[in-house]
Amino acid sequence: MKLLYFEEFDRVSDAYLREKQVQGWSRAKRLALAKERIEKLPGLSKKDFSGAGSRGGDVSRETARA
């Protein structure tokens, strides 16, 4: 087994939150992070941050009503 990536945190709670965040990422995005290809992370994101296709509404409210 080989360690590919690590981050240091002052608080355990911050480390835990970051771990959970990264666990939710796709394999391609995690590998880009491990290989220090930070510039590729936005392109590998599941969300569209370009504004294209955005309805401008609050998604959390819309899904809560459904």
pLDDT tens digits in sequence order for the chain, 66 residues long: 888 788 899 999 999 999 999 888 888 888 888 877 777 777 777 666 566 554 444 444 444 444
Please tell me the distance from the alpha carbon of residue 40 to that of residue 42, in angstroms, as a whole number.
Answer: 6
pLDDT value at residue 29:
85
Asked if residue 2 is part of any domain, the answer here is: no
Q: How many CB atoms lie within 10 A of CB 30?
A: 17
Please tell me the distance from the alpha carbon of residue 12 to that of residue 14, in angstroms, as a whole number.
Answer: 5
pLDDT value at residue 57:
44
Asked if residue 62 is part of any domain, the answer here is: no
* Domain enclosing residue 39, as ranges: 12-46
pLDDT value at residue 2:
82
| CB-based contact 26:44 (threshold 8 Å) | yes
Please tell me the distance from the alpha carbon of residue 5 to that of residue 15, in angstroms, as a whole number.
Answer: 13
pLDDT value at residue 59:
43
Structural domains counted in the chain: 1
Please tell me the distance from the alpha carbon of residue 57 to that of residue 63, in angstroms, as a whole number.
Answer: 11
Asked if residue 57 is part of any domain, the answer here is: no
